Amino acid sequence: MTSSTYCKACNKPTTHKEMLVRKPSSYDTDPSLMGKIKLFAHTFINGGHYYDMDRYITCQDCGKRTLDNKGKAFE
């Protein structure tokens, strides 16, 4: 997915590539069975999608990666 977004490094609107990175969840580091169940429930409740996502956009001109978490597409 690409979008035209203003790049501070290029000082102009450029084509950006969008990338989603899941934020580390506390459930992931819980080795207990309860932790696994929680992780499963957590995933299930959210329709199989993690909502704790960081949205990065990468400028296709200079390669600068910017954290762009505005918008509520995952709620």
Sites of contact with Zn ion (CB under 5 A): 7, 9-10, 59, 61-62, 64
- Minimum CB separation of residue 73 from Zn ion in Å reads 23
Nearer to Zn ion, 42 or 55 (CB): 55
- Minimum CB separation of residue 53 from Zn ion in Å reads 23
Handedness of CA 26, 27, 33, 34 (dihedral sign): positive
Contact 64, 7 (CB under 8 A): yes
- Minimum CB separation of residue 75 from Zn ion in Å reads 29
Interatomic CA distance for residues 57 and 75, integer angstroms:
19
Interatomic CA distance for residues 30 and 75, integer angstroms:
25
Nearer to Zn ion, 15 or 43 (CB): 15
